[in-house]
Amino acid sequence: MKTIHKIFTVAILLFISGGTIVGCSSTKNNYTAATDVQEEFKMEKSGAQMWGEACNRCHLAPSPADYNDTDWSTISLHMRVRANLAENEIAKIETFLKSAN
């Protein structure tokens, strides 16, 4: 009966510890793997979403049809500086605006 009790106790300890009884290095590896999975499935915002969020922070966002491609290029350069947007963000916004006009 004591043997069954010991086996049961060990099984519970293994279950609680995640199936392994090792040092901190295992925890680091599991954390890194979890972070990699999160990065892999991270959803990126579309140009339309960024346009709605960034442009409406300070003013009413104009319709994509309000300007032509050349105007949007100039406006994008200006607003990148004014709105403190990253190059990849303004590129997505500009692509959306040009495709929608």
33 in the same domain as 61: no
52 in the same domain as 32: no
64 in the same domain as 34: no
Measured distance CA(81)–CA(12) in Å, rounded: 58
Residues 11-38: tens digit of each pLDDT: 565 556 554 544 444 445 555 666 665 6
96 in the same domain as 51: yes
19 in the same domain as 59: no
25 in the same domain as 55: no
Residues 43-69: tens digit of each pLDDT: 789 999 999 999 999 999 999 999 999
Give the pLDDT score at 61: 92
33 in the same domain as 52: no
Number of domains in the chain: 2
Positive/negative CA dihedral, 83, 88, 89, 93: positive
Residue 36, domain extent: 2-40
Question: Taking 60 as the threshold, does the pLDDT of residue 71 lie above it?
Answer: yes
